[in-house]
Structure 1
Amino acid sequence: MDQLRRSLLEAPIIEKGEYQYFVHPISDGVPTLKPGLLREIVIKICRKVELEDVDKIVTPAAMGIHISTALSLMTDVPIVVIRKREYGLDGEVSLSQQTGYSESEMYINDVQPGDSVLVIDDVLSTGGTLSAICEALDGIGADVTDVVAVIKKAGENELDGRIDYKTLINVRVEDGEVVIVDENGDG
């Protein structure tokens, strides 16, 4: 059994109101993120996407940073982190991020028209964050080559039917346990 699958099946479940939430090293930073799991995830991403012409890896802060850093180290493709802080740099683009539980402004720097970008995130749930990022990148004139989320929570999201995306594994939480819906991911 691969490490990603095992780590999800062993993930602790906590209750947030009526919502059952799994706690996972990729999406939460706890329990401990082991190098082997991160390496496995990056290898799976490399096998799913075409990296040859990618100029930049784009990821939202914070939980996409470790995945993107490891991917950058393996591929020599630089990273752009979309931050929740405005810096006021030339060319900075703001976007409104809306998830299932929060709304905030995010800011993209250092993506230029014509840049070929790979978008990486840890979890795809409602699709609000990735949808807003893709719209902002399109507005900049960047070419989004692929959108990848490591873990997809089962159910419809804002990307479905609008933006092509890839995932590594799809899950749902049922009766206090993580259930693997699709071990190979994708929509």
Structure 2
Amino acid sequence: KAGGFAQYLCTTDELILLKPSSVSYEDAASIPAAGVNALQCLQKHGKLQSGQDVLINGASGGIGTLAVQIAKSLGANVTGVCSTTNVKMVKSLGADVVIDYKKEDFTRMEQMYDLVFDTVAKSSFSDCKRILKPKGRYVTTAFSPGLALKAKMVRGDKKLIPIIGNPTKDDLIVLLVDIVASE
């Protein structure tokens, strides 16, 4: 069987790297799926730049926790969205602002963002359009053929970008170097 929950996995040798001894197996295991998705969604597809404002919906999940840290390392102003029980943890990862979705609806707030990265698909592009700055991007990991078609039909200066992450050796190296450097 294919997928991240398989006991065994077949891959090409280009995607195999030696695990640094200072990196735990748990941290190393998160890199190919969660880490690559976070990195590609923010940098490659979201085109996040230093000084820009990003909202990460699902900031306490596997992809979200890495996205908060990557966005901060890129110099972005990070707003994380999570539940009450995870507010402190998301703040400790580097989020500048944390919104408890049980208390506030981030799609109804006044703050505007250059990028909304939705890792949990709980809010639609339509919901998030009003908090996107002109030329803002809404990137989601909740890919479906219908969403891909909708992305092609979006008019105006705001963009809907559904993503399926495809790991590259360069992305894996960037993430491993960042993990080792942060220790």
TM bucket, shorter chain: 0.3 to 0.5
Higher relative contact order (CA 8 A, sep 6+): 2
Per residue, is there more helix in 1 or in 2?
A: 2
What TM-score does the superposition give when structure 1 sets the normalisation length? 0.46
- When normalised by structure 2's length, the TM-score is 0.46
